[in-house]
Amino acid sequence: MIRVVLPAHLRTLAHVDGEVTLDVAGEVTQRAVLDALEARYPVLRGTIRDQVTHRRRAFVRFFACEEDWSHEPPDAPLPDAVATGAEPLLIVGAMAGG
């Protein structure tokens, strides 16, 4: 079971409280987690990554195990602690805009 923490605006949009838990088949990567997240909550399509290119939106960041995973390739495996559910993947709205 994968745990995902969404930023407040996306929790409101998707009508979820607290963490989201997802089943991800196969290797646990950014792409696999986002695919599962968007399948569960279609309203989140386009909010975290571009709907066509699947590139991460500029002001969205991914953190896991106190490290910034934003610039890792989308098919790179996430840390084991995320894959086992010991730690959540944090999706964060970047500090921007003043």
Partner 1 sequence: MSEVRVLVGTRKGAFILTSDGKRQRWDIRGPLFAGWEIYHLKGSPADPHRLYASQSSGWFGQQIQRSTDGGETWEPVGNTFVYDGAAGTHQWYDGTPRPWEFKRVWHLEPSLTEPDTVYAGVEDAALFRSTDGGQTWQELPALRGVKGHLWQPGAGGMCLHTIVLDPSHPERIFIAISAAGVFRTDDAGKTWRPMNRGLKSPYELPDPDAEVGHCVHRLATHQARPDVLFMQKHWDVMRSDDAGESWHEVSGNLPTDFGFPIVVHAHEPDTIYVVPITSDSEHYPPEGQLRVYRSRTGGHAWEALTQGLPQRDCYVNVLRDAMAVDTLEACGVYFGTTGGQVYASADAGDSWAPIVRDLPPVVSVEVQVLP
Measured in residues, the chain has a length of 98
**Which positions from 54 through 93 interact with partner 1, judged by CB under 8 A?**
57, 59-60, 93
CB of 93 to partner 1, least distance (A): 4
* Dihedral over Cα of 17, 41, 1, 77: its sign: negative
Position 39 contacts partner 1 (CB under 8 A)? no
Q: Of residues 21, 27, 39, 46, which one binds partner 1 by CB under 8 A?
A: 46
Q: In three state form, how does the secondary structure of 8-40 look?
A: HHHHHHHCCCCCEEECCCCCCEHHHHHHHHHHH
Nearer to partner 1, 1 or 96 (CB): 96
Position 5 contacts partner 1 (CB under 8 A)? no
Nearer to partner 1, 13 or 16 (CB): 13
DSSP string, 48-80: SB-TTT-PBPTTEEEEETTEE-TTS-TTSBPPH
Beta bridge partners of 93: 60
Position 51 contacts partner 1 (CB under 8 A)? yes
The footprint of partner 1 (CB under 8 A) covers: 7, 9-10, 12-13, 43, 45-48, 51-52, 57, 59-60, 93-94, 96-97
